[in-house]
Structure 1
Amino acid sequence: MIEFVIAVIFLLITPGPGVLTTAGIGAAFGYRAGLGFLGGLMFGGFINMMIVVSGLAALVLAIPSLRIILLLGSVSYLVYLAWRIASAGSNISFKPASKPLGFMNGMMLQFINPKAYVVGTTLFSGFAFMPENPFWEVVLKILIFNIIWLPIHLIWLQAGAKMGSMNLAETTQRRINVGMALALLIVVFTALWASI
């Protein structure tokens, strides 16, 4: 079980779309505004885990045309999230985002988050510590995962909110928002490159 805990910690502290979007919302809109998104992210993550554990993800991703459609949908939605972060509080030619992403956005992100499927598959297909009782092993893994997941994401949200509350110049805040959005796009396109 120790190996599982270590794997969860290292898989979660590496920035992925969920973490970067959470920090970006914190920076752009503040800590409280990010809690709804975080709740959706957690609920969507649970559903994502059930999709992985049930084998449905493997079944769906085995169909090449469906895999391409899901991949394009994922990339499109993650680019949209990056734009929302980058445009919050800025004066660029697009209409700036005036309200934070909420619960539904967080939940939807987990359905198209490539890192969530990779993490779920890695954690639930490996690190067996109760092979005689796989049901309770899955239950314990979900509990352990969420006990670690929540504080890590709250820390990222707080870090983003701290950056956003520093009363920085508008251009500096815009650079931070754009930097967060670019980091998200780098993760997205790295995942895209790896899947091709």
Structure 2
Amino acid sequence: MTIELLSALVAFAFVTVITPGPNNLMLMASGANFGFRRTLPHMLGIGIGFPAMILLVGIGIMGLFDLWPVSYTILKVFSVAYLLYLAWKIANAAPPKNAQAEGKPLTFVQSAAFQWVNPKAWSMALSAITLYASSRDLPAVVWVAGVYVCMSCLSTTGWTVLGQQMRRILKSPARLRVFNWAMAVLLVATLIPVLWPSQG
């Protein structure tokens, strides 16, 4: 991979991981509800799970969509249903005093598995492979996955810390409830480009 192509890939990866999406909104909500330390498995699940997904998509799964296009529609239906379920969970998260006993942040495995039903993750993976590893050979796909590991570290840390810092503002149960509902609504809003893609 040339320096020019690598630079473009780094910029593309940074922009795609740092912008609001299901992963980042869920990390911010987790940081606000559970704090940084308890959100670490969730962060690692994204940081390792998404690049692993890129590897698998790049070396074979993308071909499945080429051969059987309806599989992408089936994936979309499952993705929408699961995101709606997660939005409901966020909206009804326990207040901080009860969160330690009642609430649980996503585990590493849950977070890594979530990448497979995250519409933004699929869009990012397919776009990155198409643009920066179009040959789908292993070295190129590994470069793309490696860059996403680095960029994910920055993004997951930033969004979790943002949520953690918001705990100071969200000390009252009423404020936290409003925040959680706002996060849930924004999470559902991330489905708009999936359900009604731009025609332009």
For the criterion TM > 0.5, the same-fold answer is yes
**1:108-162 deviation line (CA, Å, top 9, x unaligned):** 210011111211122222146xx8x953333222222211111111110110111
Distance, in Å, in 2 between the alignment partners of 1:86 and 1:167 is: 14
Please report how far the alpha carbon of residue 184 of structure 1 lies from its aligned counterpart in structure 2 after TM superposition. Answer: 0.8
**SS of 1:126 mapped into structure 2:** helix
Gaps of 5+ in 1: 91-95
Which residue of 73, 77, 86 maps to 1:72?
77
In the alignment, is the contact (CA less than 8 A) between 2:62 and 2:126 conserved in 1? no
**1:1-196 alignment, distance < 5 Å:** 1-60=6-65, 63-89=68-94, 98-127=103-132, 134-194=137-197
TM-score by length of 1: 0.84
Distance, in Å, in 1 between the alignment partners of 2:155 and 2:189 is: 21
**How many residues are aligned here?**
189
After superposition, the CA RMSD in angstroms is 2.7
For the structure 1 residues 114 and 57, does the alpha-carbon distance in structure 2 shift closer, same or farther, using more than 3 Å as the test? farther
Please report how far the alpha carbon of residue 97 of structure 1 lies from its aligned counterpart in structure 2 after TM superposition. Answer: 5.9
Distance, in Å, in 2 between the alignment partners of 1:66 and 1:138 is: 22
Distance, in Å, in 2 between the alignment partners of 1:147 and 1:105 is: 21
In the alignment, is the contact (CA less than 8 A) between 1:30 and 1:165 conserved in 2? no
Gaps of 5+ in 2: 1-5, 96-100
In the alignment, is the contact (CA less than 8 A) between 1:28 and 1:85 conserved in 2? no
TM-score by length of 2: 0.82
Distance, in Å, in 2 between the alignment partners of 1:145 and 1:39 is: 13
In the alignment, is the contact (CA less than 8 A) between 1:87 and 1:97 conserved in 2? no
Please report how far the alpha carbon of residue 46 of structure 1 lies from its aligned counterpart in structure 2 after TM superposition. Answer: 2.5
In the alignment, is the contact (CA less than 8 A) between 1:26 and 1:160 conserved in 2? yes
- Comparing 1-10 with 177-186, greater Cα deviation is found at 1-10
- Sequence identity percentage: 29
Please report how far the alpha carbon of residue 61 of structure 1 lies from its aligned counterpart in structure 2 after TM superposition. Answer: 6.7
Distance, in Å, in 2 between the alignment partners of 1:21 and 1:167 is: 16
**SS of 2:191 mapped into structure 1:** helix
